[in-house]
Amino acid sequence: MKTVAVTGAARGIGLAIAERFLDAGWRVFCLVRSEQAMGALTSKGDARFVPFDASRDDQVLAAAKAVLGQTDTLDALVNNAGVALSAPFAKTTTDDFLRLQTVNVTAPFVLTRELLPALVKAKGRVVNVCSTAARKGFKYTSAYCASKHALLGLTRALAVELAGKQVTVNAVSPGWTDTDMLAQSVERIASATNRSAAEARAAIEQMNPMGRAVKPAEVAALVHFLATDQAAAAITGADYTIDAGETV
């Protein structure tokens, strides 16, 4: 049975990714804050809870140790857990900036480093969930953009370094996706502009040519493809945008 570790598997894109791998018959190590957050994942297949808090280095190290305590080979690692912040640059504190770097960059760095022996043994796949904010700038998101740009840079550097070991490292960069993050943005825009929630959502969706949000299942399908042994075995250092044409 193939094995994958997915961070932030309790909701949104991470949940869709975990479900996709379970549907394909993989064993999924779900790195989440609490076992209760996993919901019905355990009923869908071999889903194993691993306590994980991306904001704490000791928790990231403990999660890696827990995974390695159950397997010495890992076919894929999906670094999905992340946090966002919307604030003017002048009102973005140093603590805000460092918090986003810790969760969005340092945690994937540490987890990948610790799980690398198991990935090398399996000639595995690393997929980092970035964002269109890794490819372009958005106002009021300086800390978030900086963290996602850094994660994309880490992806590319590791892809070159690990290529000789037949370990691929790629990024998936979603645009606006129908998750809690989108719902929070809709609420924030509606409150700031006195528009209805439907109007605020429509304004976000019109930011891309297709005029719609990306579905979590669509991102999950792309992540799963990059973890397969088919054409994806020769793909490394790539950044796959899935954004309804936003960055074209």
By residue count, the chain amounts to 248
Average pLDDT, stretch 181-203? 78
pLDDT tens digits, 92-102 = 999 999 999 99
User: Beta-carbon neighbour count of residue 166 at 10 Å?
Assistant: 12
Known catalytic membership, residue 144: yes
Q: Please state, rounded to an integer, the average pLDDT across all residues of the chain.
A: 94
- Select from 235, 105, 228 the least CA-distant residue to 159: 235
CA Rg, the chain, in Å? 18
pLDDT exceeds cutoff 80 at 106: yes
CA distances from 241 to 151, 175, 189, 234 (A): 14, 8, 25, 18
Structural domains in the chain plus CATH codes: 3-175+215-242 (3.40.50.720), 177-213 (no CATH)
- State the pLDDT at residue 195: 85
User: Beta-carbon neighbour count of residue 179 at 10 Å?
Assistant: 21
pLDDT tens digits, 135-182 = 999 999 999 999 999 999 999 999 999 999 999 999 999 998 988 777
In sequence order, what are the residues at sequence separation of 6 or more whose Cβ sits closer than 8 angstroms to the Cβ of residue 10? Answer: 30, 32, 33, 34, 37, 38, 39
Q: What is the pTM of this model?
A: 0.94
Q: What is the rounded distance in angstroms from the CA atom of residue 151 to the CA atom of residue 129?
A: 9
Q: Could you tell me the two tokens for 172? A: 């998936």
Of 26, 144, 176, 240, which is the active-site residue? Answer: 144
- State the pLDDT at residue 188: 77
- State the pLDDT at residue 205: 82
